[in-house]
């Protein structure tokens, strides 16, 4: 059991998302940074998709009611256990009754917005429609279908594997993507790409887009040059997915994120490829990102690179963890 | 002990304004340490034979890997020179592929020296750090 | 958007969007449902999600040979027969106007019709559920009389309650839970459209239909 002592707003229980319920109008939800979740679970010997707590705002303080292995991945929020520093992206042991405090992320080699508190055995809230992720619209999944509050007690599962006691280098440092020194995400043009002006195309690929404060798990509103279609577009409602870059009438793009509604009708100029959504999900408010045009094959290769990184992490962690216990 | 009290007081004042945690004065009459603690400065006088026989703890690489003085996410070293250490504190890292193994201080003491180059690949048993242990019986 | 040929486009590496040509009709939608059932059986498809005369196919594993996938889809479309109708129809009691229908006045103003006419036009059709989307349990409905079409609001309302009956452009719908909306809310119903503890959780599915039954008018 984990007791929430101090939760800043919008901390939620998430796993890799709720797949297969789109025909009920139920979107994906799930972590904004799936690489950080999977890495944390690998360090703890969990299944890769075990649920964790996603923390977008700080400080965040919990008390462990029993001894448990845990790790804090994602943004480096200077985790400390009963006042003693613990390393980010490391599996650590917490004794019963100890208090873990996460602070506002400081300047780091990888500026990131969200931290993940993963525990051995995972956060054991009930599966709803196949997932433990919090679905805010409709209020189900996660912990009582809502963000965590002070005093909440979150159940943890039975640890199946062995926590490694070691750490991982965040994949953002291992497999970075940037253009002219600005963090980048790869984009495939979408259905209405050709309906935008040549200026809009040029701007899309050359602007360093600012993540505005109106950005959250639903969508990232970007600040930058206006993207204008050659003529007004009327679309019929259709399914959309996280990563879709919609351009409403004002010309300022919005990228759909994990809590976005699963259908829409605004013109789509492009879609951030699934393999780079974790990079975007960690972009802090006020930071800038570039869009990097890619081909279908490059997009699939990017997904394969993520899987290779996780596979290598799993293999190396298990080898080193074995040597430590000998 | 033979150390000039005026000099010690002056050094103490000067030390208080810095982030140096350990100042060691060695002379024929022995060694004087000025140690900065949370609640102020502490003097520690060592007899000459004690200082001479005092062994520096050398921390060796437990694996083959890339030696790192800071966590890859961090801009600062895990433990800078002169840093006061508790046994078990993380003082560096070895990187093996995507994984990190923490290098920990074997004792209470002070970071005296970094013996390997940050970013260099080191073999098993390569000296990484020299730690100046706190004297037995001297509790911080 | 109308075109003479079906159109396919990518939603990144996550999905492919298939858009049927022509005006939005129930006949086309029945073929979309049939295409969804067919495509869902393909190994590379994890989920087939109908929209309004279009279909989103979520990849189980995105195919390297995308052109072959698209060609197969268009080929199947050209031959597919409309899905037989087997939906059920439910009556939704609606209280029109008042606190539960705060934008009725805007619909009156835009259409130039009186409230009684608006209610008569809104309650006369049987609306077919074309698709679910937007939020859990929400139904996209076809069949609204264009005479009561009213543009979406310039400033969306931050939170309209579940059960809100509203008009957005030439469509009408009922919110399944509280949330933001740019549509004009003209009434309210008590029906629960989505309950995760129910099997299935959604009250309606594509092919079902709705009739609005006026229970009261609050002026």
Res. A250 pLDDT band, cuts 50 70 90: confident
Measured CA to CA in angstroms, residue C165 lies from B21, B33, B35, C100, C192 at distances of: 70, 79, 73, 9, 13
CA angle A93, A94, A96 (to 5 degrees): 140
Minimum Cα–Cα distance from A293: chain C residue:
C12
Query: Could you identify the residue written with the tokens 């208080």?
Result: B16
Whole-Å CA distances, C161 to A51, A87, C97, C138, C202: 30, 45, 14, 13, 18
A23: part of which helix (H) or strand (E)? Answer: none
For residues A89 and A43, what is the distance between their CA atoms, to the nearest angstrom?
Answer: 8
Shortest Cα distance from A21 to chain C (angstroms)?
9
pLDDT tens, A33-84? 999 999 999 999 999 999 999 999 999 999 999 999 999 999 999 999 999 9
State the sign of the Cα–Cα–Cα–Cα dihedral A305, A311, A313, A316.
negative
Cα(B86)–Cα(B68) distance, integer angstroms:
20
Residues 6+ apart with CB under 8 A from A20: A129, A130, C46, C47
**Rounded to whole angstroms, how far apart are CA atoms C147 and C141?**
16
The predicted structure's pLDDT at residue A165: 81
Dist. CA A253–CA A220, nearest whole Å:
8
Query: Could you give the CA distance from residue C46 to residue A241 in angstroms, rounded to a whole number?
Result: 14
Q: B130: helix, coil or strand?
A: strand
Cβ of residue A313 closer than 8 Å to a chain B Cβ: yes
State residue A326's pLDDT score. Answer: 36
What length does chain B have? 140
Residue-range domain boundaries for chain A: 2-171, 178-294
Size of interface A-C (CB pairs under 8 A): 149
- Of A215-219, B11-15, C77-81, which range is least confident? B11-15
- Portion 47-66 of B in contact with A at CB < 8 A: 63
Contact at CB, A239 and C52, closer than 8 angstroms: no
| Selected residue of C47, C65, C133 to mutate for chain A interface (largest A Cβ count, 10 A) | C133
Closest Cα to residue A89, out of A4, A173, A158, A162? A173
Name which of C32, C136, C200 to mutate to probe chain A: the one with the most chain A Cβ atoms within 10 A of its Cβ.
C136
Percentage of the residues of chain C whose pLDDT score is greater than 70: 99
C-beta atoms of B71 and A88 within 8 A: yes
End-to-end CA distance of chain A: 30
Helices C115-123 and C104-111: crossing angle, nearest 10°?
100
Residue that wins the pLDDT comparison between A140 and B25: A140
Q: Please, do chains C and A touch (3+ CB pairs < 8 Å)? A: yes
Of A234, A239, A299, nearest to C133 by CB-CB distance is A239
The domain segmentation of chain C, as residue ranges, is: 7-79, 89-218
Both structure tokens of B82? 């002169």
Which residue in A19, A137, A240 is closest to C136 by CB distance? A137
A and B in touch (3+ CB pairs within 8 angstroms): yes
Of B18-27, B45-54, C75-84, C206-215, the one with minimum mean pLDDT is B45-54
Contacts of C2 in chain A (CB under 8 A): none
What average pLDDT does this structure show over A105-113? Answer: 89
Measured CA to CA, the distance from residue C85 to residue A267 in angstroms comes to: 32
Whether residue A102 lies within 8 A of chain B, CB to CB, comes out as no
**Mean pLDDT of the A127-133 span:** 97
**Encoding tokens for residue B17?**
């304004």
CATH 3.30.110.70 fits C7-79, yes or no: no
Look at domain C89-218 and name its CATH class: mainly beta
Strands A244-246 and A268-272: antiparallel
Q: Do B102 and A317 touch (CB under 8 A)?
A: no
What is the DSSP pairing of strand B40-46 with strand A238-239? unpaired
Gap between the Cα atoms of A87 and A196, Å rounded: 47
Find the length of chain C. 219
pLDDT digits (tens, 9 = 90+) for C149-206: 999 887 878 889 999 999 998 899 999 999 888 899 999 999 999 999 999 999 999 9
Of A25, A191, A242, the CB nearest to C133: A25
What CATH number was assigned to the domain covering residues A178-294?
2.40.100.10
Sequence-distant (6+) residues with CB within 8 A of C162 are C175, C176, C177, C178, C192, C193
Residue A18 is encoded by which pair of tokens? 């709720």
Phi-psi region of A138 (alpha: psi -120 to 50; beta: other; left: phi over 0): left
Alpha helices in B27-119 (DSSP H): 48-53
Q: Cα–Cα distances in Å, from C104 out to A53, A195, C166, C212, C214?
A: 43, 35, 9, 16, 14
Say if residues A93 and A166 touch (Cβ distance below 8 Å).
no
Per cent of chain C over pLDDT 90 is: 86
The answer to whether B102 contacts A90, with C-beta atoms less than 8 Å apart, is: yes
- Give the alpha-carbon dihedral of C106, C112, C114, C119, to 10 degrees: -70
Binned at pLDDT 50, 70 and 90, residue A22 comes out as very high
CB contact under 8 A, A313 and B99: yes
Cα–Cα distance measured from residue B67 to residue B93, given in angstroms and rounded to the nearest whole number: 6
Cβ A241–C46 below 8 Å, yes or no? Answer: no
**Contact at CB, A312 and B98, closer than 8 angstroms:** yes
- Write down the mean pLDDT value for chain A: 94
Closest C-alpha to B131, from B110, B102, B103: B110
What is the complex's ipTM, to 2 decimals?
0.94
A 10 A CB-CB count for A322 gives: 11
Q: Is B10 exposed, middle or buried (0-12, 13-18, 19+ CB in 10 A)?
A: exposed
Domains of chain B: 5-53 (no CATH), 57-133 (2.40.50.100)
pLDDT in tens, A291-301: 999 999 999 99
Q: Which of A263, A132, A137 is nearest to C168 (CA)?
A: A263
- Tokens of residue B90, six digits: 């993380």
A88 lies within 8 A of chain B by CB: yes
Which chains are adjacent to chain B, needing at least 3 Cβ pairs under 8 Å? A
Residue numbers in A near B124 (CB within 8 A) = none
Torsion angle in degrees (nearest 10) through CA of C192, C195, C197, C200: 100
CA C212, distance to chain mean position in Å, is: 15
- Residues near A296 by Cβ (< 8 Å), separated by ≥ 6? A188, C10, C13, C66
The first and second tokens of residue A71, run together, are 């790790």
The predicted pLDDT at position A322 comes to 65
Closest among A88, A91, A52 to A73, alpha carbons compared: A88
Are the beta carbons of C201 and A239 separated by less than 8 Å?
no
Q: What is the pLDDT of residue B3?
A: 58
**Can you give the C-alpha Rg of chain C in angstroms?**
19
Q: Do C12 and A262 count as a contact with CB atoms less than 8 A apart?
A: no
φ, ψ (nearest 5 deg) of residue B111: -70, 115
């Amino acid at each position: 059991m984990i007791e929430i002592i101090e939760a800043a707003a919008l901390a939620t229980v998430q796993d890799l998302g709720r797949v297969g319920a789109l025909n009920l109008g139920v979107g994906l939800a799930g972590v904004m940074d799936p690489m950080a979740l999977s890495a944390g679970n690998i360090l703890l010997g969990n299944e890769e998709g075990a649920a964790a707590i996603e923390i977008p705002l700080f400080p965040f303080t919990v008390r462990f009611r029993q001894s448990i292995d845990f790790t804090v991945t994602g943004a480096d929020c200077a985790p400390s256990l009963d006042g003693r520093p613990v390393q980010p992206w490391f599996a650590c042991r917490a004794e019963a009754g100890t208090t873990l405090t996460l602070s506002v992320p400081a300047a780091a080699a990888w500026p990131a917005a969200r931290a993940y508190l993963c525990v051995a055995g995972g956060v054991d809230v009930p599966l709803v429609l196949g997932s433990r992720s919090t679905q805010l619209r409709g209020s189900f999944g996660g912990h009582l279908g809502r963000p965590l509050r002070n005093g909440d007690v979150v159940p943890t599962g039975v640890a199946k594997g062995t926590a490694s006691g070691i750490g991982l280098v965040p994949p953002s440092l291992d497999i970075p993507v940037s253009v002219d020194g600005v963090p980048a995400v790869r984009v495939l043009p979408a259905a209405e790409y050709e309906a935008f002006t040549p200026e809009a195309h040029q701007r899309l690929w050359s602007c360093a887009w600012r993540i505005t404060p109106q950005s959250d798990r639903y969508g990232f509103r970007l600040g930058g040059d206006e993207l204008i279609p050659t003529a007004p577009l009327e679309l019929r409602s259709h399914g959309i997915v996280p990563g879709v870059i919609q351009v409403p009438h004002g010309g300022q793009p919005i990228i759909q994120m994990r809590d976005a509604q699963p259908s829409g009708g605004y013109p789509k100029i492009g879609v951030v490829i699934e393999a780079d959504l974790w990079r975007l999900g960690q972009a802090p408010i006020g930071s800038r990102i570039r869009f990097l045009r890619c081909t279908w094959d490059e997009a699939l290769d990017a997904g394969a690179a993520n899987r290779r990184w996780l596979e290598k992490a799993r293999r190396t962690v298990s080898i080193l963890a074995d040597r430590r216990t000998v | 002990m033979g150390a000039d009290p005026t000099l010690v007081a002056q050094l103490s004042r000067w030390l208080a304004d810095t982030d140096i945690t350990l100042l060691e004065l060695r002379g024929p009459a022995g060694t004087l340490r000025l140690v900065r603690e949370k609640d102020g400065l502490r003097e520690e006088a060592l007899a000459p034979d004690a200082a001479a026989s005092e062994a520096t703890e050398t921390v060796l690489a437990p694996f083959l890997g890339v030696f790192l003085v800071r966590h890859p996410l961090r801009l600062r070293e895990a433990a800078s020179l002169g840093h006061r250490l508790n046994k078990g504190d993380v003082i560096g890292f070895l990187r093996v592929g995507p994984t990190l193994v923490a290098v920990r201080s074997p004792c209470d003491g002070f970071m005296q020296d970094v013996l390997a180059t940050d970013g260099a690949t080191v073999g098993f048993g390569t000296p990484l750090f020299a730690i100046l242990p706190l004297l037995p019986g001297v509790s911080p | 958007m109308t075109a003479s040929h079906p159109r396919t486009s990518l939603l990144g590496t996550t999905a492919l969007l298939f858009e049927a040509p022509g005006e939005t009709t129930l006949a086309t939608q029945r073929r979309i449902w049939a295409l969804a059932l067919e495509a869902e059986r393909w190994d590379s498809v994890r989920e087939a999600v109908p929209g309004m005369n279009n279909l989103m196919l979520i990849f189980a594993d995105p195919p390297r040979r995308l052109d072959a996938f698209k060609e197969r889809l268009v080929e199947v479309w050209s031959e597919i027969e409309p899905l037989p109708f087997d939906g059920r129809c439910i009556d939704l009691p609606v209280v029109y106007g008042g606190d539960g229908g705060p934008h009725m006045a805007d619909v009156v103003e835009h259409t130039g019709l009186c409230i009684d006419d608006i209610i008569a036009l809104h309650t006369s059709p049987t609306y077919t559920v074309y698709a679910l989307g937007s939020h859990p349990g929400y139904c996209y409905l076809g069949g609204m009389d264009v005479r009561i079409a009213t543009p979406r609001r310039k400033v969306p309302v931050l939170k309209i309650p579940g059960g809100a009956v509203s008009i957005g452009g030439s469509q009408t719908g009922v919110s399944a839970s509280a949330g933001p909306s740019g549509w004009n809310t003209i009434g309210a119903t008590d029906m629960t459209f989505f309950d995760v503890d129910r099997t299935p959780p959604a009250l309606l599915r594509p092919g079902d239909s709705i009739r609005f039954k006026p229970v009261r008018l609050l002026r």
